[in-house]
Amino acid sequence: MRTAHDSSQRYDPLLFGAVVNILSLTQREQGQFDTALKLHNDSIASLNGLFNKQVDYVNNSDVLHFLGSFQVEKCRTWIQTGQRLADAETNLGVAIQTWDRLYAAYPQVPMYRESQAAALQLRGQLRAQTDRPKEARADLEKSRQLLEDLIAHFGQIPDPHAELGRTCTELGRLDRAAKNDPGAKQWFSKAVEELKTAQKLSPAHARNAKSLDQAIAELGK
């Protein structure tokens, strides 16, 4: 028989994974990439076990969402260090498809679509870095469309504005690389606008403040 104590602990592996994931991000910010990658692996392993066991009273959609998020952060570290880029692209594709299915099943949960759009943004950045601008633009345009649709329905949530700002920054960089300076400036202006909105809605968000500074710097070039 399942006790109340057993039920209260059913999400412990997910909570543990979330804490380890935060530690991995801290290590990455400090340039400790080997340690960050080990922590990424630990966070993912904690959820793989939960997913494979199919624990009673655990929402599998929660597991899939957080597993995708942890995988994306591992891919971000790989991309930042130039390691295993093909694996990063493959894993991002899996995460994108997972969030697409989750949002189709639960359209009332905006974080699924936002996470999908952020993963598309990161894959677009990867494809731009590996000299595939056409594929990069397709990913970034899809990210933009998903985020603009989210904002139309959930405009008071800051994160879609922030992700749209980052996606527009990447589109601006693509246009600049293609010698389309007027197009680049339009994207950077849009990025600044969206990131300012995100900052107004969530003033204490350090990553959004950093992204805003980057967009302003790009616009001033």
Domain boundaries along the sequence of the chain: 8-83, 85-221
Candidates 152, 77, 83; CA nearest to 122 is 77
Say whether 34 sits in a helix, a strand or coil.
helix
- Look at residue 2 in the predicted model and tell me its pLDDT: 45
C-alpha–C-alpha distance, residues 74 and 91, integer Å: 9
Spatial CA neighbour of 53 closest among 12, 85, 25: 12
Measured CA to CA, the distance from residue 107 to residue 199 in angstroms comes to: 26
pLDDT of the residue at 4: 43
Q: Which residues are CB-neighbours of 111 under 8 A, at least 6 positions away? A: 65, 159
Rounded Cα distance between 37 and 35, Å, is: 5
Note down pLDDT in tens along the chain; length 221 residues: 444 445 557 778 888 899 999 999 999 999 999 999 999 999 999 888 676 566 555 688 888 999 999 999 999 999 999 999 999 999 999 999 999 999 999 999 999 999 999 999 999 999 999 999 999 999 999 999 999 999 999 999 999 999 999 999 999 999 999 999 999 999 999 999 999 999 999 999 999 999 999 999 999 98
- Domain 8-83 in CATH 1.20.58? The answer is yes
What is the structure's pLDDT at 8? Answer: 52
pLDDT at 54: 60
Q: Report the C-alpha gap between 214 and 54 in whole angstroms.
A: 43
Helices (H) and strands (E) in the chain, counts: 10, 0
CATH 1.25.40.10 fits 85-221, yes or no: yes
Helix 60-81 with 85-105: angle, nearest 10 deg = 150
Longest CA span, the chain:
67
pTM, 2 dp = 0.91
Contact between 64 and 111 under an 8 Å Cβ cutoff? The reply is no
Write down the pLDDT at residue 60.
Answer: 85
**pLDDT value for 1:** 40
